[in-house]
Every structure is written in C-alpha cells, then in structure tokens.
Structure 1
Amino acid sequence: MTGEHPATDGGPIAEPTNQVSVGAFEFERGGQVDLDVAYETFGDPADPPVLVAHALTGSQYVTGSGPEGIDGQAAGWWSEVVGPGRPVDTENFFVVVANVPGSCYGTTGPASIGPDGEPYGPDFPAVTITDWVRAQARLLDELGIETLYAVVGGSVGGMNAIEWARTYPERVERIAAIATAPRVDTQNLALDSIARRAITQDPDFQGGAYYGSPGPTDGLGLARRIGHVQYLSKDSMENRFGRRAADRVIAGVADPTAEAFPYRDVASYLDYNASTFVDRFDANSYLYLLRAMDEYDLAAGQGSATDAVADFDGSILVLSYTGDWQFTVEQGREIAAAFEAAGAEVTFEKIVDDYGHDAFLARPETVTGPLDSFLDGQTVNDPSELRVSP
C-alpha cells in the first residue's frame, strides 16, 4: 500500500488503524499519486457528521489514545474538546478526522513507499491546503457522507476549515475556525523559512533521501524549537520560565561559554520538546506541511477573501486569542469580515488570554464554551470578548 512507512534508525512510524485508498489523486501544483488516506471515526454514522482538521504536526487520533507508537502530542491532542459529553460530542455527532496528504501518520506522504518500492522522499508532489480538503472530500465520498454538519479546526487546521467554504461550500453547513488566519504574515513566513533552512542544511538531510538512516534530526529539532517560540507569547514565556536556571540538562553540543553561565529553563523546555518531536515526525513531512501552510491565502485566485467564500451560505465561528502573535486577533477579524460580507452568519469571539498561539490546545477550556454554543446552533452577530485568567 502506498501509505506504508519505512523504518528508520529512529524506529518505525506506527501503521494507521483505518486507511482507505481514494485512487489516483492529482495535486494542485502538479504531480499524481495513488493516495491512501488514514482516518479515525468516533460515534454513530447515523448522527450528523463533523470533520475535525488537525494542526500542523497532529494526527487523526484527536481524542483518547492512539495505537502503539503514537502518543504525546500526536494522540489525544483535543480530548477535552472531542469526546462523549464534550463540545464535539461523539454521542451526538459522527466525528471524522483524516490525516492530511504529506504527513506521516498513514496518509500518503514523502515517507510512504512509492511504486518503485522506495520511499517517495523529495519526489513526492508539493501539497497545498486545497489538496488536504480535496483528499478529505474523497474520504467522505468513500464513507458515504455528502454534507457535513460542521468542519472544526485550529491553527492550520482552521485554514483547512475555511478552505472548505471556498472549495466545497455546498457540502458544509458550519465552520469553526480557531486560532487561525487567512494567510501567514511576513514575520512568520521569515521564521518558517529559517526552520526549513535548519532542516535542509543538516548534512544528514541528503537532499531529502535520508530514509534508512537517522535523517536530519539536528535540523528537525532546530526547526521545532523555532516553532515552539512561535507558539508561546512573550508574557507566557516570561511567566513560565523567566531567567531561571534549569533543574535538568538536555544533552547537546555546548557553546564555548556554556560552562560559565547557567543552562536556562526556557532552553531546557525547547531542547526537550525538540528531542521528543524528532522521534515522532518525519523531516520531509515537516517541510511539506509547513510550506502548505505558508503558501495558503484564502483570497488567492479571487478578487478578495469575500469573493472566495461568496457561495458559502452557512454559519462560521471565528475564535482568536489576544496572546497569539502567530495568527492574530486582527487576522481573525479579517476572516470574520470576509464571511460577513459574503452573507454568512458570523460569530466572532476574542479571548483575552496571554498563553499564545497554542492556547487552543493547552487551554481547551477556552474553546469549549464558544464551540459548544456554536455547534448547538447558537450564533451572534456582534463580537464578544471572553476573559480567561492567566
């Protein structure tokens, strides 16, 4: 199967529990593969269907525990939001979560085995968020689902959600776009370009053809450190770490001054998260997915973002955080304004919270109230403000 992933010296990536072939798939930027889509479903297929779109390095294992070899941030990443009695209630909704093309959790990507018996590696076609949506639609066709009650996503998963309104407006009634934006701003484009360079300049990257070896773990770890800086606010970092010295040491190459000064807690946090990430994610996949996020623009090929969603006549919830400098409140308002001008029912909520971009994952209680009301059919036209204690 094309979704099979090879083992590297760092260990195999676990096989998905559910996977379906959707046949030949033409990518938006060119290229074709026989695409397998890995997915999970939760609840009764007779209930209204809700699609949950995962964030950049997430998986289809949105709630509960994943299979052996999939844990940590890759499984149960939204268990407080999706599950029995949660806002995305698996006792009332049939929940579908699909791993996106280019990832490494079972949907065909660069680590998958190609027709020649070798991993695709850098020969895998470039992917876009529109490709993710088209692949999800093909999966829904296989599952016999024509119209979605809702699409829910955070971060780049929120971009995935709003893209449904542009690509398949007739197939979705409600969209919840959380901690997201219509496009990545210039500062974050710059940081993401540094993250990519960290991977590609690692000597073990080997032009992307590193399978069967440990691969560019140093470069991937550096890229992930940059990501974690983007995911937290300035205030959040100060409150959590300050200038404290760490009480543990993560092995690594020390600079010449390291013995003279403390190893700080914030550095330990970044080093730890980098070390766990390289054990669970493929470097090529990170490059592909990061590029898909960076190149997304809701208004691309249209006169405006409003024109892009003109055919969507459903409801949308846009949820933004004051401490999120990756996808700002202003960018959330831009999404809301585009949909409102297009005639959709819009609920915009600003959450006053200093955690940063990852608040929608780290503080799920900030999501549950607004999302629960929205999925229950309640909408408001005036922006509201929620305050959450630091």
Structure 2
Amino acid sequence: MTTKETADLGEFQFESGESIPNLEVAYETYGDFTGDNAVLVCHALTGSAHVARRPDAGGETAGQARAWWGDVVGPGKAIDTSEYYVICANAPGSCYGTTGPASENPETGEPYGTDFPPVTVGDWTRAQRELLDSLGVGRIHAVVGGSVGGMNVLDWLRRFPDDVERAGAVATAARLDPQCLALDTVARRAITSDPNWNGGHYYGGPEPQDGLARARQIGHIMYLSKASMGRKFGRRAAGREAVREEPPDPAAAFFPYREVESYLDYQADKFTNRFDANSYLYMTRAMDDFDLSAGYESDADALAAFEGELLLLSFTGDWHFTVEQAEALAEACRDTGVDVAHHVIESDHGHDAFLVEPETVGPPLSGLLEDGLEGRAITDTAPDADDTSEFAPVHTSLFSK
C-alpha cells in the first residue's frame, strides 16, 4: 500500500525563533505499518518525498519525473516496502509540497518569498518527528538518508536518540568543509545577483532562472569526480544537434561547444523547470549551517546518548563528502561507545554515487535493516596497529548474499 498525502502540523516554530501559523508537510508512505517496522528516509538537497516508484504516479510526482531512490526503495529492493513501512517527507523550505518560500503566507495572501523563516536541518528533523507522531509512529526501526539527508540522519541521533534503533548515513559528514561552503556561497550569489531575483519576491513575474541555472551547474560540478567527468565527457565537442541557443560571448562561435558544457546546460535547463530559486537558497544554507557538534563539546558528545547501531557509507571518488570525513565521524562514535561500522565503497562516480549505484548502496543498507551490524558481517574500519593507512576500506563483497 502506498499513500501520497499532506499533513498540517499547525503552528511551527523554527530554531530561529520565528513561527508560521501552519506547516504543511508533503509525504509519501509505502508498505503497511505493523508497529515496529517504520523506516524513515531523508532526502537530499533537491529531493522530494517521492523516494520510490508508485503505481499511481502517472509519470511525474512532486515535480520529479522519477523516484529519486527507486532502485533502492520498493518491493523486493534493499529497503523492502513489502516488509517495512517506509516514510519520506519533503523538508520545510523546499518546494515539493511542504511549506516553503513559494507557499502562500496566510497573513498576506502572497507567497512568503524571503519573508519565510530561516530553516535548519534541525527544523527538518523536528517536523519529521511531528509527522511521525501524527501517523502514530513512535520509535522507528531505522532512519536512512544520503548527502544532506545523511546530516538529517545524524541530527535524529543527537536530537531523538531513544527513537531510533538503527541508522544509515550515506555519503555525508558531520559538517561541510570550507571548500564546499565556498562553492555553495558562489552558487547562492549567482541567484541573488540575477536581476529577476528581486530580493526573493519574484513570484508572479520573471523568475531568476539564469541565476538558478548557474547555481545548479556549480552543484553538478561538485557532485562529479575528475575520473567520472573524464570518462563521460573528456574534451570532446558536442554533436551537431547539441547547439547552444545563444553563445555566451562573441568569441564562443569560434571555439567548440564541448560535451561537458552541453551536459551542464541541459541539467540547468531541466532544474529550472522543477525547482524554486528561493528554496535553493534556503536548503543550501541549512546544509551549510549543520554542525553535528554545535551545542556539544564534540561530535562524540553529540552522539553519546544514541544506543542503537549506525552504518556509515562513503565513496572513494566523493570529494564533496569524503571518506576521511566519514572515518572521522566513525572514530567519534567509537570514542563514545556508539556501535558503528564504516563501509567504504570503491567508486569513481563522485558524490552522485549514492544515487546512481544502487548495486553498491543497496546491499549494506539491506543488511543493516535485516540484521543490524553483526548479522551481515558489516566490518568496522578501525585501522590495525600495524596498518599505516588512515582507514581500511570494507569491500562490497562482504555484503553479497
């Protein structure tokens, strides 16, 4: 059984101290609830509640043409919806059904725009907890998410440690590094410097699509590795059919329009048709602001109250959230006695690997849900005393059935 609903959580106060009179949260559920089989899936930066394929989707759900983790979540898949009751909710501040900047402010009858309160990952977690309460779900079997969705998972462990039995944090870290913060800053400036942004109050008029397009292109460069870009594009010129509508500068007609340029333009065009520029500002700021240790002495201290099991997945080609960052998080867990395993996947796809490699992501998550860390031979990566490397990768063969 699947459902696509919107829950009205009533008045909601954000961590900034500001409130809105009604927070509506768009969510989808898959499977039947039996009391102890709930699995919460947290989406990434521009994802929606549409995590798995639905028989009633009709080609597009929540602005997305396909389920963002449809090869991982579903009947008979790694997160098996014939066994688990899977919930995925769109985060506050986004634009896929949950209240955000593009939503109507009931006090003015106009879209909030940038009058919408600042949003944090903690606000996402608290909204999810309220949604689960409204669905009659208390303690959850597992919470799973990738990228900033993995930060959402970590926030669950520090905010509601008694409510989670198992957790899977994929391609994530305790905080962004300065390089990623810098790139996100440039992406936001691309939006706010667009003459159509109008201080965030552009609804009903021309939208800042050029700025949003540039922001998305920066994001795509962050999500790919050098190896994957070399393999996909090289320095090749695009085919004759891939002709840009307008050369960006007079000299451009002399030089080849390369495949990598064509790819970035195509992705930007698709994205501007489905996402809101203000939401991109709000969601990236929430990600940039997240720091697991905020309010605590350390990452270890932040997770000390969690008594369940945590599986960390990282990818060798991911420079957005690196293997080293995941290992540092695993070490913090070991320091405080949290039952943790860090599974390193050899991949040159970059950060996108958690979305495009279901064959490597799925088995360890399935093992975590079925048997926890022990039953599926999920091996920790704490280095041996004689090991001179910083960590010892765990190979995916350990998870094959």
Q: TM-score range by the shorter chain?
A: over 0.9
Alpha-carbon distance between aligned partners in 2 of 1:259 and 1:92, rounded to the nearest angstrom: 57
Equivalent residue in structure 1 for 2:272, among 264, 278, 284:
278
Aligned residue for 1:230?
A: 222
Aligned length: 373
Contact between 2:379 and 2:394, CA under 8 Å: does it hold in 1?
no
Equivalent residue runs for 1:196-207 within 5 Å: 196-207=188-199
Partner of residue 395, structure 2: 386
Asked if the contact 1:87–1:372 (Cα under 8 Å) also holds between the matched residues in 2, the reply is yes
Separation in structure 1 between the aligned mates of residue 307 and residue 16 of structure 2, nearest angstrom: 29
Partner of 1:24: 11
Q: Is the 1:57–1:74 contact (alpha carbons within 8 Å) kept by the matching residues of 2?
A: no
Distance 2:59 2:363 in 1: 32
- The answer to whether the 8 Å contact 2:51/2:70 transfers is yes
Say whether the 8 Å CA contact 1:307–1:342 is kept in structure 2: yes
User: Is 2:102–2:276's contact at 8 Å kept on the other side of the alignment?
Assistant: yes
Aligned-pair CA distance for 1:282: 0.4
Per the alignment, residue 289 of structure 2 pairs with 295
**Equivalent residue number for residue 130 of structure 1:** 122
Q: Secondary structure at the match of 2:144?
A: strand
Partner of 1:84: 75
Matched, 1:40 2:21: no
Alignment of 1:327 onto 2:321: yes
1:51 and 2:44 are equivalent in the alignment: no
Deviation of 1:70 after TM superposition, in Å, equals: 3.6
Structure 1 Cα separation of the partners of residues 318 and 310 of structure 2: 20
Letter in 2 for 1:85: G
Q: Determine the C-alpha separation between the residues in 1 that align with 2:272 and 2:33.
A: 36
Structure 1 residue 373 displacement after superposition? 1.1
1:112 aligned to which of 100, 103, 119: 103
Secondary structure in structure 1 of the residue aligned to 2:23? strand
* Alignment check: 8 A CA contact 1:353 1:387 kept: no
Q: TM-score when scaled to structure 2?
A: 0.90
List structure 1 segments (4+ residues) > 3 angstroms apart after TM superposition: 65-75
In structure 2, distance between residues paired with 1:342 and 1:84: 36
Equivalent residue number for residue 145 of structure 1: 137
Give secondary structure in 2 for the equivalent of 1:358: helix
Query: What CA distance in whole angstroms lies between the structure 2 residues aligned with 1:169 and 1:321?
Result: 26
Deviation of 1:137 (Å): 0.1
Compared with structure 1, are the counterparts of its residues 204 and 329 closer, same or farther at alpha carbon in structure 2 (3 Å cutoff)? same
Equivalence for 1:102:
93
CA distance in 2, matches of 1:180, 1:74: 25
1:71-127: per-residue Cα shift (whole Å, max 9, x none)? 785641111110001111001100000000000011110000011211000100000
Corresponding residue for residue 9 of structure 1: none
Q: 1:385 to 1:73 in 2, by over 3 A?
A: farther
SS at match of 2:263: helix
CA RMSD, 1 decimal: 1.6
8 Å Cα contact 2:28-2:49 kept in structure 1: yes
The aligned residue for residue 258 of structure 1 is 252
Q: Deviation at 1:374? A: 1.1
Comparing 350-359 with 330-339, greater Cα deviation is found at: 330-339
**1:335 deviation in Å?**
1.6
Q: Bigger shift: 36-45 or 379-388?
A: 379-388
SS at match of 1:204: coil
Amino acid at match of 1:89: D
Calculate the TM-score normalised by the size of structure 1: 0.93
Residue 6 of structure 1 corresponds to none
Inter-CA distance 71–288: structure 2 relative to 1 (3 Å threshold): closer
Q: Is the contact made by 1:181 and 1:331 (CA closer than 8 Å) also made in structure 2?
A: yes
Number of the residue aligned with 2:84: 93
Whole-angstrom distance in 2 between the partners of 1:249 and 1:334: 45
2:8 match: secondary structure: strand
Whether the aligned pair in 2 keeps the contact of 1:43 and 1:90 (CA below 8 Å) is: yes
Alignment of 1:151-190 (within 5 A): 151-190=143-182
Query: CA 1:110–1:346 in 2, change beyond 3 Å: closer, same or farther?
Result: same
**Residue 307 of structure 2 aligns with which residue?**
313
CA shift for structure 1 position 17 = 3.9
Call closer, same or farther: CA 1:139–1:279 in 2, change over 3 Å: same
**1:204-215, aligned counterparts within 5 Å?**
204-215=196-207
In structure 2, the residue corresponding to 1:203 is in which secondary structure?
Answer: coil
Unaligned runs of 5+ in 2: 382-392
Unaligned runs of 5+ residues in structure 1 are 1-15
Give, in angstroms, the shift of residue 338 of structure 1: 1.8
Q: CA deviation at 1:378?
A: 3.7
**Cα distance in 2 between the residues matched to 1:252 and 1:319:** 42
Partners of 2:200 and 2:188 in 1: CA distance: 12
Is 1:59–1:75's contact at 8 Å kept on the other side of the alignment?
no
Task: Find the counterpart in structure 2 of residue 221 from structure 1.
Answer: 213
Does the aligned pair in 2 maintain the 1:51–1:96 contact within 8 Å? Answer: yes
Q: CA separation in 2, counterparts of 1:233 and 1:343?
A: 34
**What do the CA deviations read for 1:297-322 (whole angstroms, capped 9, x no partner)?**
00011100011011100000000001
Distance 2:166 2:146 in 1: 15
Q: Which amino acid aligns with 1:288?
A: Y
- What is the CA deviation profile of residues 332-354 of structure 1, one whole-angstrom value per residue up to 9, with x for unaligned ones? 11221222222221111111111
In the alignment, is the contact (CA less than 8 A) between 2:146 and 2:171 conserved in 1? yes
Decide which moves more: 245-254 or 272-281: 245-254
Query: 1:120–1:56: structure 2 CA closer, same or farther, 3 Å change rule?
Result: same
Tell me: CA distance 1:326–1:43, structure 2 relative to 1, closer, same or farther (3 Å). same
